[in-house]
């Protein structure tokens, strides 16, 4: 079998346009209606088959790897004549595709929804106000004034297409193009609806109820099928996409399904230990601090984080401890601290591994 690239006279790295131009040139020379010779007929078959293979990306890739590509051709066929006519004239091979429908799918819509962190824990309900296209209440999407209906186009007689005979090297060829009178619809709206101007839809505000699941995070998009814009002429609605944005919280931050926060305690509570109640996003929590707790320690409260978006259960609440050292001491307080230091013989300060402050220490323990 001859090499397809040699048959078309193109290089192996030829572009799709170069292959198409080469095929046009050879097809004009070798088509049986133009060149009735037996040799020309065989060459036309080879040219057509080579073009069928090389113009298809998958078949061309297979052929370049050493495969046949295209599976051969029947000696009783000259290929797809409709493709040849379309290549030459930009239209079909004379067949009418029928009128196109005025009904089209509406566009999708994208809205941003801002949530507080406490709404994310268990999910929430929102009524979203959407400025969108809705079906015209006057004509119910028919585009016609009530009591009227579309009439058949008297130019194309309802086909939506105009057929013309075009003279070419192959003889007279019938081409089809959309009717300019009805724009390919096959019908004309003689009395369009005055409310929607014959569009079948109008702009309006409507309320969309949304149940936002627990566990969503910033950037997540929820798809609501059929809640987007109504299509022209009563066509189906597009989809509505809601992009989540969780607002910053002054106390709590988030790491996946876990909640993070810092608990500041006085030096005396760190030394003696204590039990305290803190206000979480979903109620109060009793936190027990052992005697001698250090800054940077992490207390984990199970199942008090964010409800998992996929799966069951909740994340944890992780509390970083920060011991607050007093900065202002009266005379008596200072004497007590000095007596404590003298009694316990506090070791002198010494160098240790570098830490960029408490927050870096907490971050490393939170996230690592």
Q: What digits encode the pLDDT tens for the residues 276-316?
A: 999 999 999 999 999 999 998 999 999 999 999 987 899 99
Instruction: Please state the residue numbers annotated as binding site.
Output: 136, 139, 153, 156, 179, 182, 193, 196
DSSP 42: H
Q: What is the spatial distance between Cα 196 and Cα 303, in angstroms, rounded to a whole number?
A: 54
Query: Is position 183 within any domain?
Result: no
Q: State what percent of residues in the chain have pLDDT above 90.
A: 50
Give pLDDT, residue 339: 86
Which of 255, 308, 310 lies closest to 120 in space, CA to CA?
308
Q: Check which CATH number belongs to the domain holding 19 and give it.
A: 1.10.287.110
Instruction: Please tell me the least confidently modeled range out of 91-95, 109-113, 211-215, 273-277.
Output: 91-95
Packed helices 38-54 and 16-30: angle between N→C axes, nearest 10 degrees = 160
Residue after which a domain boundary falls, among 39, 62, 85 = 62
- pLDDT at residue 71 is higher than 60: no
Give the pLDDT band of residue 179 (cuts 50, 70, 90): confident
Instruction: Find tokens 């070419």 and name the residue.
Output: 168
Query: Is position 73 within any domain?
Result: no
Instruction: Please tell me the least confidently modeled range out of 6-20, 105-119, 269-283, 336-350.
Output: 336-350
The reply to whether the predicted model has a pTM over 0.85 is no
CA dist 267 → 65, 222, 274, 324, 338 (Å): 75, 47, 11, 6, 15
What is the arithmetic mean of pLDDT over 106-132?
93
Instruction: Please state the residue numbers annotated as binding site for Zn(2+).
Output: 136, 139, 153, 156, 179, 182, 193, 196
Which of 238, 100, 109, 252 lies closest to 161 in space, CA to CA?
100
Residues spanned by the domain of 43:
1-62
What is the arithmetic mean of pLDDT over 111-117?
95
Query: Is position 43 within any domain?
Result: yes
Exposure of 74 in the CB half-sphere (CA atoms within 13 A): 5
Query: Is position 155 within any domain?
Result: no
Instruction: Please tell me the least confidently modeled range out of 209-213, 259-263, 265-269, 361-365.
Output: 361-365
Residue after which a domain boundary falls, among 62, 79, 101 = 62
What is the arithmetic mean of pLDDT over 159-188?
81
Q: Check which CATH number belongs to the domain holding 295 and give it.
A: 2.60.260.20
Query: Is position 150 within any domain?
Result: no
**pLDDT greater at residue 329 or residue 86:** 329
Residue after which a domain boundary falls, among 62, 83, 111 = 62
Contact 29, 47 (CB under 8 A): no
- pLDDT at residue 76 is higher than 50: no
Query: Is position 235 within any domain?
Result: no
Averaged pLDDT of the chain: 83
By the 10 Å C-beta count (0-12 exposed, 13-18 middle, 19+ buried), 76 is classed as exposed
Specify the number of domains making up the chain: 2
Query: Is position 297 within any domain?
Result: yes
Give pLDDT, residue 209: 94
Q: What is the spatial distance between Cα 126 and Cα 251, in angstroms, rounded to a whole number?
A: 24
Contact 267, 326 (CB under 8 A): yes
Query: Is position 238 within any domain?
Result: no
Six token digits for residue 154:
């008297």
pLDDT digits (tens, 9 = 90+) for 1-41: 568 888 888 888 889 889 888 888 887 787 666 677 777 77
């Amino acid at each position: 079998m001859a090499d397809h690239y040699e048959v078309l006279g193109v290089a192996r790295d030829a572009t799709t346009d170069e292959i198409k131009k080469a095929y046009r040139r050879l097809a004009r020379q070798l088509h049986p209606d133009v060149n009735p010779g037996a040799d020309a007929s065989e060459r036309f078959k080879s040219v057509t088959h080579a073009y069928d293979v090389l113009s298809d990306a998958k078949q061309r890739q297979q052929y370049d790897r050493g495969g046949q590509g295209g599976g051969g051709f029947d000696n009783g066929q000259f290929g797809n004549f409709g493709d040849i006519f379309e290549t030459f004239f930009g239209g079909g091979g004379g067949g009418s595709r029928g009128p196109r429908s005025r009904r089209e799918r509406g566009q999708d819509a994208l809205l941003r929804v801002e949530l507080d962190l406490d709404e994310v824990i268990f999910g929430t309900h929102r009524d979203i106000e959407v400025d969108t296209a809705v079906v015209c209440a006057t004509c119910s999407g028919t585009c016609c004034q009530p009591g009227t209906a579309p009439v058949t186009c008297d130019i194309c007689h309802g086909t939506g297409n105009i057929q013309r005979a075009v003279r070419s090297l192959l003889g007279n060829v019938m081409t089809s193009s959309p009717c300019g009178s009805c724009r390919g619809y096959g019908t004309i709206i003689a009395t369009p609806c005055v409310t929607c101007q014959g569009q079948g839809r109008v702009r309006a505000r409507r309320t969309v109820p949304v149940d936002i699941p627990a566990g969503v995070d910033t950037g997540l998009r929820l798809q609501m099928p059929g809640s987007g814009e109504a299509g022209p002429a009563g066509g189906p609605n597009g989809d509505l996409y809601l992009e989540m944005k969780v607002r910053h919280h002054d106390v709590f931050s988030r790491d996946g399904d876990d909640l993070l926060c810092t608990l500041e305690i006085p030096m005396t509570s760190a030394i003696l230990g204590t039990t305290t109640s803190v206000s979480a996003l979903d109620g109060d929590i009793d936190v027990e601090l052992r005697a001698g707790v250090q800054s940077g320690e992490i207390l984990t409260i199970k199942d008090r984080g964010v409800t998992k978006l996929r799966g069951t259960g909740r994340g944890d609440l992780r509390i970083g401890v920060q011991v607050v050292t007093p900065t202002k001491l009266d005379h008596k307080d200072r004497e007590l601290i000095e007596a404590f230091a003298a009694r316990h013989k506090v070791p002198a300060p010494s160098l240790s591994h570098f830490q960029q402050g408490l927050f870096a220490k907490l971050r490393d323990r939170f996230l690592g």
